[in-house]
Amino acid sequence: NIDFDANEFVKASFNIKMKYYKLILNEKERLKENKILDEAVKQKIKIETDTFDAEKFQKEADERYKLFMERRNLSNREK
């Protein structure tokens, strides 16, 4: 004969459901926060894309490369 307490079963079942619902709520909250963060990142990328100056970037890259080559040639001559 199994000793079965219906009240204990109801309490245990309720506690399991509560934990499950809390997990669902936490996950919904996390997804909402992720969506907010995604929107912020998209906005930042859009701003950076809109304000990106390709000509200026290329000019700076060319200057850095030229400086690098000059330094490299100097150090090769000193060897």
Assigned domain for 1 exists: no
* pLDDT given for residue 1 in this prediction: 64
- Fill in the amino acid letter for 74: L
Please count the structural domains in the chain: 1
Assigned domain for 10 exists: yes
Token pair 């912020």 is at which residue? Answer: 40
**The pTM is what?**
0.46
Assigned domain for 24 exists: yes
Assigned domain for 20 exists: yes
The model's pLDDT over 18-71, given as tens digits with 9 standing for 90+, comes to 999 999 999 999 999 999 999 999 999 998 888 889 999 999 999 999 999 999
* pLDDT given for residue 48 in this prediction: 87
Assigned domain for 26 exists: yes
Of residues 6 and 78, the one with the higher pLDDT is: 6
Assigned domain for 45 exists: yes
Q: Could you tell me the two tokens for 64?
A: 């850095």
Assigned domain for 19 exists: yes
Task: Taking residues 9-17, report their average pLDDT.
Answer: 93
Residue ranges making up the domain that contains 55:
6-78
